DNA sequence: CACTAATTGAAAAAAATTTTCAGTTACGGA
DNA sequence: TCCGTAACTGAAAATTTTTTTCAATTAGTG
């Protein structure tokens, strides 16, 4: 279970698994790519500042990723492979699983850069908008 | 010449090629991934509000792209293929040319999504940081 | 159950971005 | 080349977003 792993990472780092943090985590599990206000709407009992701080903490633990694809900041559960399809017409963000990357052609050995994760954003028009 | 094309797009859209806009464009040509304040330092004669407005306009014309890779907003000249290498240790952002994507595996035909451009971010550690 | 470092949230502060509006200017047409 | 005008600019003010402060509270250890 996703939440269990997150609790483990928090405890391991000397952080408490408070009700507020759990509430924010649950909100993140419910849906990807939410804005701060959308997350907040899912846990109105948590103070604004605490939501900011929790997102920061989860970010530093590698649990959450902040992204900005044009319209303000959004948050999502982090994945090492992350592939987005973004409709430039309606703004819809969706994810797809199959990784279109050829590992051979990544800058692994080439430049001396150690690859840990990647995020691909494909821009275009979704079916509905065509 | 890059600036020539940009002027064409502005005129074509009914926008004026003002000295302020040209100054911002020149700043963008000088270096990729600059913050607003870095851009502003390169054209101090342009008012803050005008820089914001120019970046918006150039963005809507597809000339400039705004990105946020962790530390605040940054701006760059747009490319249909864009490949970033981001060091999670020192925060350095660099670009690489060779496209590691396999077009076959892009969600082109698969989902009915019409691909127009893409941006790949590879996260890891740069040579200097290892 | 007590202790304490970690956490919370309201208020205030700071930073980032947008709106307003009166004055200025680029540029197409005469 | 000169005019008319829609487009543009920038200072100030407003708004939005994010961070800091600090006194009160609490999770988790022993
Ligand atoms: Mn995602
Ligand atoms: Mn770039
Ligand atoms: Zn769409
Ligand atoms: Zn580095």
What pLDDT does residue A109 have?
A: 60
Tens place of pLDDT for every residue, chain B, 130 residues?
689 999 999 999 999 999 999 999 999 999 999 999 999 999 999 999 999 999 999 999 999 999 998 889 999 999 999 999 999 988 899 999 999 999 888 887 666 899 999 999 999 999 999 8
Chain A positions touching B73 (Cβ under 8 A) are 68
Contact A114 B130 (CB under 8 A): yes
In three-state form (DSSP H/G/I as H, E/B as E, the rest C), the secondary structure along chain B is CHHHHHHHHHHHCCCCCCHHHHHHHHHHHHCCCECHHHHHHHCCCCCHHHHHHHHHHHHHCCCEEEEECCCCEEEEECCCEEEEEEECCCCCEEECCCCCECHHHCCCCCCCCEEEEEEEEEEEECHHHC
Question: pLDDT below 50 — which residues of chain A?
Answer: none
Give this prediction's pTM: 0.91
B130 touches strand D (CB under 7 A): no
> Could you give the CA distance from residue B53 to residue B20 in angstroms, rounded to a whole number?
10
A20 touches strand C (CB under 7 A): yes
What pLDDT does residue B50 have?
A: 98
What pLDDT does residue A84 have?
A: 95
C-alpha torsion A74→A80→A81→A84, nearest 10: 10
CA of A103 relative to ligand 3 center, distance in Å: 30
What pLDDT does residue B110 have?
A: 60
A11 touches strand D (CB under 7 A): yes
What pLDDT does residue B109 have?
A: 60
Are A115 and B104 within 8 A, CB to CB?
no
What pLDDT does residue A36 have?
A: 97
Gap from A15 CA to C3 C1', Å: 17
Q: Which structure tokens are listed for A80?
A: 């090492």
What pLDDT does residue B34 have?
A: 97
Gap from A53 CA to C13 C1', Å: 17
What pLDDT does residue B107 have?
A: 82
What pLDDT does residue B2 have?
A: 81
Outline where chain A has alpha helix (H).
Answer: 2-12, 19-30, 36-42, 48-60
């Amino acid at each position: 279970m996703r939440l269990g792993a997150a609790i483990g990472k928090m405890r391991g780092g000397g952080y408490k698994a408070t009700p507020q943090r759990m509430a924010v985590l649950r909100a993140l599990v419910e849906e990807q790519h939410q804005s701060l206000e959308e997350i907040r709407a899912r846990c109105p009992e948590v103070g604004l500042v605490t939501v900011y701080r929790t997102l920061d903490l989860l970010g530093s633990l590698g649990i959450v990723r902040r992204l900005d694809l044009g319209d303000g900041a959004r948050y999502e559960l982090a994945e090492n492979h992350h592939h987005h399809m973004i409709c430039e017409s309606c703004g819809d963000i969706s994810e797809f699983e199959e990784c279109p990357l050829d590992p051979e052609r990544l800058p692994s050995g080439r430049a001396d850069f150690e690859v840990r994760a990647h995020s691909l954003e494909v821009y275009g028009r979704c079916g509905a908008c065509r």
